[in-house]
């Protein structure tokens, strides 16, 4: 009998960057990204770092000023001690589009998705293009070989460059 191989797909889900005093006023304005490499501290090329990160889009100023409640940094996570021959990294993100009055009622969702091909047909994972509904679709999204661009760049048209599905407009 062949040895059993275990696969693990860690995920960050539901990132909300804010001060603890703003917990009842989550804005849904956070951004996520992935830093694959970083210039070597020795000055000889780049190091592979594979850090997933999240941050608030504007630091949540109080009026026109930042104060002690303003999150002006980023948080990152990396898997350490993983043998390079078994390291297989995917990166996917999705976001919910919410009503502007309460920010609590989701009216749609979107995330960067590749168009289907003959060898890899497009799979519908839920009612929108982002949030995977159900455990099977969450597993599919985490284990499917796809690497999204950083959420910071979602205002750019990636449909021609990376074979991506165009975002839907809600409103």
What does the pLDDT read at residue 171?
A: 39
Mean pLDDT of 1-7: 52
Q: How confident is the model at residue 39 (pLDDT cuts 50, 70, 90)?
A: very high
Which tokens in the block code for residue 98? 């919410």
- Stated pTM of the model: 0.75
Give the H or E element holding residue 141.
helix 135-143
User: Of 79, 81, 29, 87, nearest to 54 (Cα)?
Assistant: 29
Which DSSP string corresponds to 121-132? -----SSSSSSP
What tens digit of pLDDT does each residue of 115-137 get? 888 998 999 988 888 888 889 99
What does the pLDDT read at residue 164?
A: 84
User: Of 123, 95, 125, nearest to 108 (Cα)?
Assistant: 95
169 or 107, which is more confident? 107
Q: Locate the domains of the chain by residue range.
A: 20-153
């Amino acid at each position: 009998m062949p040895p059993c191989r275990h696969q693990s797909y860690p995920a960050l889900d539901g990132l909300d960057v804010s001060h603890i005093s703003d917990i009842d006023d989550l804005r849904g304005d956070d951004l996520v990204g992935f830093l694959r490499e970083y210039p070597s501290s020795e000055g000889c090329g780049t190091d592979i770092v594979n850090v997933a990160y999240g941050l608030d889009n504007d630091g949540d100023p109080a009026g026109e000023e930042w104060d002690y409640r303003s999150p002006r940094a980023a948080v990152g996570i990396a898997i350490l001690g993983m043998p390079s021959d078994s390291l297989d990294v995917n990166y996917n993100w999705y976001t919910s589009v919410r009503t502007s009055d309460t920010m609590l009622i989701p009216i749609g969702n979107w995330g960067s998705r590749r168009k289907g091909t003959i060898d890899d047909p497009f799979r519908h994972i839920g009612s929108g293009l982002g949030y995977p509904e159900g455990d099977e679709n969450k597993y599919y999204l985490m284990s499917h070989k796809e690497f999204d661009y950083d959420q910071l760049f979602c205002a750019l048209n990636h449909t021609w460059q990376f074979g991506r599905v165009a975002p839907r407009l809600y409103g």
